Amino acid sequence: MSLKVKVPVAWFGQGALVHHAAVVCEGGRVAYAGPSVAAPSADELLEVDGFLMPGVVDRHVHIRLADPGAVLLGGVTAVRDLAWVPDEIFELSSASELPTFTGPVIRAAGPMLTAPGGYPTASSWAPRGTGRELAGPEDAAAVVGELADQGAATIKVSLNSEAGPTPSDAELAAIVMAAHERGLPVTAHVQGHGQAERAVGAGIDEFAHTPWTERLSDLLLVSAARSMRIVSTLDIFSFGEVTPDLRTACDNLVRFREAGGTVVYGTDLGNGAIPAGIHVREALLLHEAVRMSPEEVLVAMTAGPLAVGGPADLLVLGSDPLLRLEALGDLRVVVRSGRVVSG
Ligand SMILES: [Zn+2]
């Protein structure tokens, strides 16, 4: 069953704004994306007066603490889970690949690798197994191998010195080497003085949150901008208020971007009062406090351009988010794997 979605305007990705556009979905993939005059016919036609864009990707969630169905209905068609009990989350991740799954596509890190007694082993949000306590560099490398075999999308490391001990430098080096050998990136929860510097030094690929516990030096940010990207998660530092933590995070993020660094959208859904689905306030913070243009924000919120052969995950909004990002809260249609899930 193929589906054609016809709209007055579509944003397929950076620099690709098309008026009188159509997308044709077939077998869960995009078969056509371009001007509607040239679009092939389809079994079903959906004409919507709105703004079409790729589905939103949230790169930092704890999906077991949320309702996957509500996440999808809220416009988020893919998520990355950054810490949960491995057997449980990898099973859910496999199930989510089915186009009929009532939720977003879920990619997962599995547990957070940590030191014995380290974060999040004593955290109330984290069931037993959410933290994997390491017993030396060899064990660390073996755990990475295990997780890679189970289908981990990324490896998560806990560098939270405010909540307990952290893995040693030797363990970090072993984790990064083993992960990169398996083609997996390493993301780090960094909290406490000097931990961001350790992450950069160890060759870690990503900060799972914008560093918020200290002002990072320009020198460190220049170095980080070359080798790492940052998952934003700004709103969890203040939930709509302006706090010193939020100010520190935004200052670090602005200078990271000035140094050429890449920022992607993530909310840490499951942590506090973050709504399921697109979190408009996170997008607005990126625009207003980090000074990203609306188009830069949309790029950060999507996996890449909507293109032929790619997953048929798309949204139609009631108005143009390039003019007003608040439009991200005005969802008209959500399509996942070529299937309309709302609208
Ligand atoms: Zn998290």
pLDDT tens for residues 134-193? 999 999 999 999 999 999 999 999 999 999 999 999 999 999 999 999 999 999 999 999
20, 35 Cβ separation under 8 angstroms:
yes
60 CA → ligand 1 middle, Å: 6
Report the mean per-residue pLDDT for the chain.
97
145 CA → ligand 1 middle, Å: 22
329, 280 Cβ separation under 8 angstroms:
yes
Question: Does residue 197 register a pLDDT over 80?
Answer: yes
Predicted local confidence at residue 343, as pLDDT: 58
Residue 238 CB coordination number (10 Å): 17
Least Cα distance to 187 among 255, 109, 70 occurs for 109
Question: Average pLDDT of 244-269?
Answer: 98
The pTM of the full predicted model, rounded to 2 decimals, is 0.97
pLDDT tens for residues 123-136? 999 999 999 999 99
50 CA → ligand 1 middle, Å: 33
Question: Average pLDDT of 81-101?
Answer: 95
What pLDDT band is residue 342 in, cutting at 50, 70 and 90? Answer: confident
Predicted local confidence at residue 122, as pLDDT: 92
Least Cα distance to 17 among 47, 52, 59, 68 occurs for 52
User: b/e map of 47-72 (b: 16 or more CB within 10 Å)?
Assistant: ebebbbbbbbbbbbbbbbbbebeebb
271 CA → ligand 1 middle, Å: 7
Sheet arrangement for strand 105-108: 56-61, 76-81, 105-108
248 CA → ligand 1 middle, Å: 19
Question: Rounded to an integer, what is the distance from CA 48 to the centroid of its chain?
Answer: 27
Question: Does residue 285 register a pLDDT over 70?
Answer: yes
Predicted local confidence at residue 272, as pLDDT: 85
270 CA → ligand 1 middle, Å: 8
Backbone angles phi, psi at 218, to 5 degrees: -55, -40
84 CA → ligand 1 middle, Å: 9
